[in-house]
Structure 1
Amino acid sequence: MIAIPADPNDPEDRDVSVAALERGLMGRRVRQLRNRLGLSQEAFARTYGIPLASIRQYEIGRYMPPPAVRAYLKVIAAEPEAAARAVADAA
């Protein structure tokens, strides 16, 4: 299903699917969370135990985080210090 049709006047433009739009919006939320916490991608990945490559892929909208990671991101957003302590204690 197409969420945003391509501009017929732009030969380089492409349709955007609903799934691609959802991935892009999720990527934006991940980036906004990371920026709100004042962390680089590397620091966010290290602090919260999420692979750096995954953070990068989520932020550019290439992949949608799996449901467990989406739930974990909600925990990080609500209780960033507690989530960081839990990861540090598990190491």
Structure 2
Amino acid sequence: MIATPADPNDSEDRDVSVAALERGLMGRRVRKLRNRLGLSQEEFGRTFGIPAVSIRQYEIGRYMPPPAVRAYLKVIEAEPEMVKRVIAS
């Protein structure tokens, strides 16, 4: 299903599917969380045990994080310091 059709007056524009839009919005959410915490992709990955390569792929919207990772990201959003403490112990 197409979320945003291509502009017919722009030969370089492409349709955007609903799935691609969802991946892009999730990527933005991950990037904003990481930036709010003041961490690079590598630091975020090390801190929370998610490979930096995966963080990169999520942020550019190439892949949607699996459901368990999406749930974990919600916990990190809500309580980043608690997550750091739990992982450190």
Verify same fold: TM over 0.5: yes
Alignment partner, residue 60 of structure 1: 60
Specify the SS of the correspondent of 2:62: coil
Structure 1 unmatched ranges of 5 or more = none
Alignment partner, residue 31 of structure 2: 31
* Superposition TM-score, scaled by structure 1 size: 0.95
How far did residue 88 of structure 1 move? 2.1
* Superposition TM-score, scaled by structure 2 size: 0.97
How far did residue 40 of structure 1 move? 0.7
Q: Which amino acid is 2:23 matched to?
A: R
Q: Is it true that 1:11 corresponds to 2:11 in the alignment?
A: yes
Specify the SS of the correspondent of 1:11: coil
- Percent identity between matched residues is 83
Q: Which amino acid is 2:39 matched to?
A: L
How far did residue 87 of structure 1 move? 1.9
Q: Which amino acid is 2:66 matched to?
A: P
CA distance in 2 between partners of 1:53 and 1:85 (Å): 24
Q: Which amino acid is 2:82 matched to?
A: A
How far did residue 47 of structure 1 move? 0.4
Structure 2 unmatched ranges of 5 or more = none
Deviation digits for residues 44-89 of structure 1 (CA, Å, limit 9, x no counterpart): 0000000111000000000000110000001001110111122222
CA distance in 1 between partners of 2:45 and 2:88 (Å): 12
Aligned residues: 89
